[in-house]
Structure 1
């Protein structure tokens, strides 16, 4: 710096901007890059010209929520921060300016008008920032949300129905499928659900919702679908047609723990597995295992529908065995291990000393003194056509498929619950289907549901796919020692919880239980059907 630019104290002098005249109105101003005064800049430039000054917001009177496009509904009070954020998101062009402040201007609550005050900034010229305040008026229009539409709609007003069926004698698959539907919220678009002896009917207001539901089913269970439509009405003047659509969904008629004999073509296609196999898992494909060689394979749904076959025996036909001795071999594959076990049928106790020597794949799960379920193939009666193509096949007398436990009522000690779908039970259909059954339909459904709950307790892999909730009636707060000494109540937010045990209810020490860490909070019993109670009965719709 030149010494001539310094004053006597050695500090450079403060430079001041010159005063010029505004190029438009001639008012003296401090020099700026635009050479215009503030009033002229505001008259020449409008930084809010790309922002709409009026807009529309949709409000549902049934649930007092506002629409956040495309289809999300948000609950917000008047002049709340949630409503302010919703209104600001509705404005286009705000991304081109900087939002400094926002707020509401008071309007009459019944005027259906919401006015929002916005303060924005934008650089209009080189190093010239303009700040401007303006108001945007939102017109509140009434629109019914999808949830209120489903509540107000009659089930007879459906446009599409998805009929899910499985040709088996139990509800095991549907109980598991119901939990998958609840976990992923696939039932949110339904206007009604009806339970039938061999499946469920899901009713929808729109055909697209039914197609999305069928797509969900195709990603969780092996199915095949058929579609049909029925002409309801036709307006010749406007040339419009009204149809009702029916989607028939058939689930593969095989379940976990079933034993089957593969057809020759499938036997060769899967690398020579079996042909006598056990089904270990049912998802989008079938997981198979040869219980004598530990060979495993995956059977895709299209292959099954091309070469269909039935199960020789289902888990309902299982026989209980007592394990007397176990000799494990070195051949292992994953969680499976070959073993030679000595078993005796539970029904033979006290009658004879008959023992049986069986080769099984459950070596890692069985110990002397355990109980196991197996198939008595030697005394079973089934259709010989299921063994067609395997003339030299020799079936074993017995085949174990699962470790089990003594039959007891464990519902009193169960500290968790499952949510249920709100479905109707058609009395006419139920009476026709269960006419020859010795059990009442409700009692039979309760028995099947209890079996499903015990399967969840015994199979950890099965629990990973569904949501299990804590039963609030089985937990109680544990007050701290300080609160006990002082006699102060325990705040709800800091309560620890313990399981309430039933007096006099003894259970097996080795019986598996669902860990507390796997249980979820949030189950509200008052919201609707959330436990394994029977579906509500309803008269057939006219």
Structure 2
């Protein structure tokens, strides 16, 4: 008999069932070889509970580990001699704890996270999730908690400091020969932001600057490198012999680094030497210092031209301020004509012709001054502005003889003044600032030195600090380089740059950071116990 198509198969002309009509595959179940319950098949043919009773994949892993912590400098000991600085519940501390746990090298670590504990409990708890291959290729996963006991143990540097506070190896003496502390206030905030003081053994304040003490010479050199990146400085070093061992021919020295900061500060008026003025493209001769970083920005208020002068060029010419911020005079704006076609720095500086009069002469006589300024975007008739009255100033500088008198201006305007608005605001509403600053833990000068300073009529540091914070509110570029923290005023800070009523500059809310402390973390955990405070 003859057949068409494939032998023993289905006739191709007859359609078969579609894939959707195919029978679904079913997974069979087996009985656990120990307890006999129904389970899906696995290489061990055991349920999870029986696997855990037969195999302990955490065997050999430490459940309780002791770590050493120095309470003086806040560092943890990483054996044998390295001390590591870590914040609580940080990634660095989590890595340190995992490395200190023995037995984790034989298994596969899947996940690790902190379990919240009281900050003062001296206990750290880490939840670990691990996997391990057991018999017949089965993989078992388990989660458990490892407890770390924090034991206080002073490091070598803190031990030396506790035994003798004057036992330092290197000191950096930072000085600036000016009659104000504005530079050091700003430098202090830069140091705090970048944690440049982490290796300091001690910090002392003096009349002329600050002294930083280190237990290692390399730490002092690293600190000087930081200063070179933020302010124009020059430095020199010296060393003195402390002891000498003739048997093994070793020497112990104490190193001293003298650092001098540039004398020109923000808002200072400078007259450029003729050769330097030519090299800068006839920028001057009179220029304002508008910004100080590792280089100095000079701006001509008459032409809105600006040039940078790096630290090497500055110390080559040894520029000094012709007039500084202590000699600013208040003027009243009578009339102003702004040329918006001439602007710089994204519209923050605009060229203008201004008619001003001294505040003390306003309404008394008819003495007025005509000048050009870069503050056209800020000033309006009736505003108060700070500037230099060069007509009545006693100026002494050898570079003055290099220029004809008509080149020099009678009045140089520097910045708008909000003194009266701030005074009315504080008297009427008693508002405080919506931000605060952190300060270095430095030793203050002795009372005898303070009395000498008060006799010399030096400005009170607290008053200088208030002026510095006023300047921060007005200058966005300065605020961008440091950290500002929210102040606990009980009021909601304004999110606008200026106050709606008095037009006083104010730090916007989005620029402020939350100053979270250990006490705040504990309080937040008590108020919200359901929140898992994990890394």
Structure 2 regions of 5+ residues with no counterpart?
Answer: 1-6, 10-22, 26-42, 44-56, 113-124, 521-535
User: Contact 2:65–2:101 (CA<8 Å) still a contact in 1?
Assistant: no
Aligned mate of 1:517, from 499, 510, 527: 510
For 2:516 and 2:299, the matched residues in 1 are separated by: 38
Task: Answer whether contact 1:417 1:471 (CA < 8 A) is retained.
Answer: yes
User: TM-score, length-normalised on structure 2?
Assistant: 0.70
Q: Secondary structure at the residue paired with 2:413?
A: strand
1:233 aligns with 2:243: yes
What is the distance in 2 between the residues matched to 1:346 and 1:235? 70
Please point out which of 188, 192, 198 is paired with 1:188.
198
Match 2:379 to one of 360, 366, 391: 366
Q: 1:462 maps to which residue?
A: 478
Distance of 1:317 and 1:243 partners within structure 2: 45
Pair 1:301-2:326 in alignment: no
Q: Tell me by how many angstroms 1:218 deviates.
A: 0.9
What is the rounded CA distance, in whole Å, between the counterparts of 1:450 and 1:365 in structure 2?
Answer: 22
Q: Do the aligned partners of 1:417 and 1:469 also contact (CA within 8 Å) in 2?
A: yes
Cα distance in structure 2, aligned partners of 1:525 and 1:315: 41
Contact 1:257–1:314 under 8 Å retained in 2: yes
Structure 1 residue 244: Cα displacement = 1.0
Matched with 2:361 is 348
Deviation of the 1:122 alpha carbon: 6.3
CA 1:507/1:322 → structure 2, altered by over 3 Å: closer, same or farther? Answer: farther
Q: 1:96 to 1:275 in 2, by over 3 A?
A: farther
How far did 1:146 drift?
8.0
2:432 corresponding residue in structure 1: 414
In 2, are the aligned partners of 1:162 and 1:248 still within 8 Å (CA)?
A: yes
Partner of 1:289: 299
Task: After TM superposition, give the deviation of residue 262 of structure 1 in Å.
Answer: 1.3
After superposition, the Cα gap between the structure-2 partners of 1:285 and 1:380, relative to the gap in structure 1 and judged at 3 Å, is same
Q: 1:75 to 1:92 in 2, by over 3 A?
A: same
Distance 1:323 1:11 in 2: 90
- Asked if residue 434 in structure 1 is aligned to residue 450 in structure 2, the reply is no
Q: Deviations over 1:348-398 (max 9, x none)?
A: 134212211111121111111111111111221122314354467731111
Equivalent residue number for residue 69 of structure 2: 60
Residues 87-166 of structure 1 mapped to structure 2, 5 A cutoff: 87-90=97-100, 98-99=108-109, 121=132, 143-145=153-155, 152=162, 154-166=164-176
Secondary structure at the counterpart of residue 226 of structure 2: helix
1:186 and 1:216 in contact (8 A); partners too: yes
CA RMSD, Structure 1 to Structure 2 (Å):
4.6
Partner Cα separation in structure 2 for residue 120 and residue 281 of structure 1: 58
Gaps of 5+ in 1: 5-9, 13-31, 33-46, 103-113, 477-496, 500-505, 528-542
| Contact 1:62–1:148 (CA under 8 A) maintained in structure 2 | no
Deviations 1:397-439 (A, max 9, x none): 1111111123455774223221111112222673475254236
Distance 1:264 1:83 in 2: 58
CA separation of 1:389/1:184 partners in 2, compared to 1, >3 Å: closer, same or farther?
same
Q: Tell me if the contact between 1:153 and 1:191 (Cα under 8 Å) persists in the aligned partners.
A: no
Q: Which residue of 1 aligns with 2:332?
A: 322
Structure 2 CA distance for aligned equivalents of residues 140 and 350 of structure 1: 72
**Change over 3 Å in CA distance of 1:150–1:355 after alignment to 2:** farther
Q: Which of these residues, 339, 345, 350, is aligned with residue 352 of structure 2?
A: 339
The 1:97–1:157 alpha-carbon spacing in structure 2 relative to 1, beyond 3 Å, is same
Aligned to 1:383: 396
Give CA deviations for 1:4-50 in whole Å, capped at 9, x if unaligned. 9xxxxx999xxxxxxxxxxxxxxxxxxx9xxxxxxxxxxxxxx99xx
Q: Distance in 1 between matches of 2:444 and 2:487?
A: 25
Q: Which residue of 1 aligns with 2:443?
A: 424
* Inter-CA distance 11–437: structure 2 relative to 1 (3 Å threshold): closer
What CA deviation, in whole Å up to 9, does each residue of 1:36-77 have, x standing for no partner?
A: xxxxxxxxxxx99xx999x9974126489754676234669x
Aligned position for 2:84: 71
| Contact 1:192–1:202 under 8 Å retained in 2 | yes
Question: CA shift at 1:203, angstroms?
Answer: 1.1
> In structure 2, the residue corresponding to 1:311 is in which secondary structure?
coil
CA distance in 1, matches of 2:389, 2:177: 23
Higher relative contact order (CA 8 A, sep 6+): 2
Equivalent-residue separation in structure 2 for 1:498 and 1:379 (angstroms): 43
Report deviation, 1:458: 1.4
Distance 1:121 1:430, change over 3 A: same
Q: Would you say the 8 A contact 1:57–1:67 is kept in 2? A: no
Partners of 2:288 and 2:451 in 1: how far apart? 33
CA 445–260 in structure 1, closer or farther in 2 if over 3 Å, else same: same
Q: Is 458-467 or 401-410 further displaced after alignment?
A: 401-410
Equivalence map 1:444-483=2 (5 Å): 444-472=460-488, 474-475=489-490
